[in-house]
Structure 1
């Protein structure tokens, strides 16, 4: 995970796997847009985590309901992925391939240089997002 803070989604997924029931799928993606859309093809609820760069304090946690509204593309403009998360989601929306519920957590990054690990502020936010995700998962299971 030497993609700087852009690896925050992978780090969060790896922590989350230890804290969710077996019937919840936690997938790690490399940013391939087609693979993202394929992975949520039959899912009712998807929660996606990525680094953002909006100018707020590093480690700030943003939560968006992407099934209801487009993501603010300026938050997701810096990425080591082929396509940014906002672009992938809007492509899926255009193709009518969004899951019923799509929540996106954006964690404000500090360092995006290749070859370094996650900054301390972002690493702290990972733990908070894992806690919030556990609550989200519990809420969505009650609704379903």
Structure 2
């Protein structure tokens, strides 16, 4: 039996660097095993919980706001670290990943393994393209997500 592995690129490609998650998921096509679920989400908690229902491993690729900002800097976060970011700082969305994780915990719907790969943003303006800082970090962000997928499949007996 193989593990169910889900990769979710969270973000909005029409809002500049917020499109990093979806761009990373697109870059993963053909680089991960065919049975890996590749999805894009706007980050709304109910949709996120539906996407990771029944998954053994969930890899989230997300844009991250930090203060002070270091656009293009990469982070790999545990669920506790992602949940520990203050609302409005850990996400470029109105409801952040931290709130989604808290809801999943309350409903006992956290996957056994959840890894968050995030890139710090420069610009999330409507209609903007990925900034140079985020665009140049995209190959490494994608590789980190791919490595998490490989590790998840390697854990399968």
Which sits farther off after the overlay, 69-78 or 2-11?
69-78
**Alignment partner, residue 97 of structure 2:** 85
Q: TM-score, normalised by structure 2?
A: 0.83
Give the TM-score, by structure 1 length: 0.89
Q: Which residues in structure 2 correspond to 1:20-39 (within 5 Å)?
A: 20-39=32-51
- Cα pair distance change 1:62/1:75, threshold 3 Å: farther
Give the 3 Å change call, closer, same or farther, for CA 93–70 of structure 1 in structure 2: farther
Tell me whether 1:74 sits opposite 2:82 in the alignment.
no
Match of 2:78 among 65, 73, 95: 65
Q: Secondary structure at the match of 1:43?
A: coil
Give 1:133's match in structure 2, choosing from 140, 145, 151.
145
Give me the CA root mean square deviation.
1.8
Higher strand share: 2
- Per-residue CA deviation, residues 81-113 of structure 1 (Å, 9 max, x unaligned), is 342111111111111110000001110000121
Matched residue pairs, number? 142
Runs (4+) of structure 1 exceeding 6 A deviation are: none
Higher relative contact order (CA 8 A, sep 6+): 1
- Following superposition, the deviation at residue 77 of structure 1 comes to 2.3
Task: Structure 2: state its 5+ residue gaps.
Answer: 1-12
Select which of 27, 31, 36 maps to 1:15: 27
